Amino acid sequence: MAGIELERVTKRFGDVVAVDDVSLDIGDGEFMVLVGPSGCGKSTALRLVAGLEEPDEGVIRLDGEVVNDVEAKHRDLAMVFQSYALYPHMTVRRNIAFPLKPLGVDRSERDRRAAAAAAVLALEDVLDRKPAQLSGGQRQRVALARAIVREPRAFLMDEPLSNLDAKLRTETRADLVALHERLATTFVYVTHDQVEAMTMADRVAILDAGRLQQVGTPDEVYERPANLFVAGFIGSPPMNVMSATATDDGGVTVVGAALESEAGTGLPAGRPVSVGVRPEALSFGPSGIPALVDTIESHGHERLVACTLADGSAAVVRLASRAPSPKPGDPVHLSARADDVLVFDPETGDRVR
């Protein structure tokens, strides 16, 4: 088990800064998910922890120990790859036992431990097959078994579910969370899928363009995104972001209509700001921001009502499926509770309230 610490880590590939001055503390036994769009540096960050890449600047620590100069094979970390990287010429048994050989584990012990790891992942029946003879889900589990067999200090996973079909992916998500609980070991998990991040993580680290945007529990990053990028990236559909103006009473107006903001913006009146409101925090009422209903998408358990504001910007309102709903073309008024209204600085993107 290990705590993992990145301190001001930077990694460049030529002119591209893949990881830009990232500092991140991952607690012992924590399930940390690194999430962000493709090219945000999350995989590079994981590979830096793994030792597959060397940082240009900064320090990486495992259990408080600097490992910058420690080779990957000596870091005692296990990794699951997006492609699974199973050795095609070896049986499942040999694939799983493969990491034990360099540790000097003798043959019978290797077989015993490989069988035990296979049992955890329900692979007993396919031990003598080659990877090509397995289904996608089985291959994924072999990759996991190969990672757990060594009882490493931490698990690193790079998009391990993205090659599975949607149904299997949902099931495996739960399996992975259960596995994490059972092993009680640090997991560092990279994904571009914010649903995976939100459903599995103890804490989520959101990256964009090599920079760390926010670290927090799924609830924290959802309720209190640090900036407009996080607000837009986490949540589906994303948070509504509307142009607004600060008022002298500490509130904001959107298209001339007042929106309360809990403790006041603290900004000078007349200052342009961006306000963010989650779709489920918006409601239709007798007063509020005037808008026109565009389209209504039904998802069974909910309905998404897309509206256009007078200034041309768009906002989505999430309704429970049974709630009364306007029709396309209806004029409506949008309102929100004061503590659901977040205020961002439109220049820096940072949240001010």
- Where on the chain is the footprint of another protein (CB under 8 A)? 7-8, 10, 21, 47, 50-52, 54-59, 64-74, 76-79, 81-83, 85, 87-89, 98-99, 101-103, 146, 156
Q: In Å, how far are 46, 66, 79, 156 from 55, measured between CA atoms?
A: 11, 12, 18, 17
HSE (CB half, 13 Å, CA atoms) of 265?
28
Please state the closest distance from residue 83 (CB atom) to another protein, in A: 5
> Which of residues 151 and 171 has its CB atom nearest to another protein in the complex?
151
Please state the closest distance from residue 345 (CB atom) to another protein, in A: 28
> Which of residues 64 and 300 has its CB atom nearest to another protein in the complex?
64
Please state the closest distance from residue 66 (CB atom) to another protein, in A: 4
- Which DSSP category does 133 fall into? G
Please state the closest distance from residue 322 (CB atom) to another protein, in A: 48
> Which of residues 7 and 220 has its CB atom nearest to another protein in the complex?
7
Measure the CA–CA gap between 287 and 260, rounded to whole angstroms: 13
> Which of residues 52 and 338 has its CB atom nearest to another protein in the complex?
52
Please state the closest distance from residue 23 (CB atom) to another protein, in A: 9
What lies within 8 Å, CB to CB, of 56 at 6+ separation is 10, 11, 12
Burial class (CB in 10 A: 0-12, 13-18, 19+), 297: exposed
Please state the closest distance from residue 74 (CB atom) to another protein, in A: 6
Measure the CA–CA gap between 159 and 40, rounded to whole angstroms: 14
Please state the closest distance from residue 9 (CB atom) to another protein, in A: 9
Please state the closest distance from residue 148 (CB atom) to another protein, in A: 13
> Which of residues 100 and 257 has its CB atom nearest to another protein in the complex?
100
> Which of residues 56 and 302 has its CB atom nearest to another protein in the complex?
56
> Which of residues 132 and 263 has its CB atom nearest to another protein in the complex?
132
- Give the per-residue SS3 of 260-289: CCCCCCCCCCCCEEEEEECHHHEEEEEEEE
> Which of residues 51 and 251 has its CB atom nearest to another protein in the complex?
51
**DSSP characters over 5-62:** EEEEEEEEETTEEEEEEEEEEE-TT-EEEEE-STTSSHHHHHHHHHTSS--SEEEEEE
Q: Is the peptide bond before 331 cis (omega within 30 degrees of 0)?
A: no
Asked if 173 and 200 touch (Cβ cutoff 8 Å), the reply is: yes
Count CB neighbours of 78 within 10 A. Answer: 22
Count CB neighbours of 17 within 10 A. Answer: 17
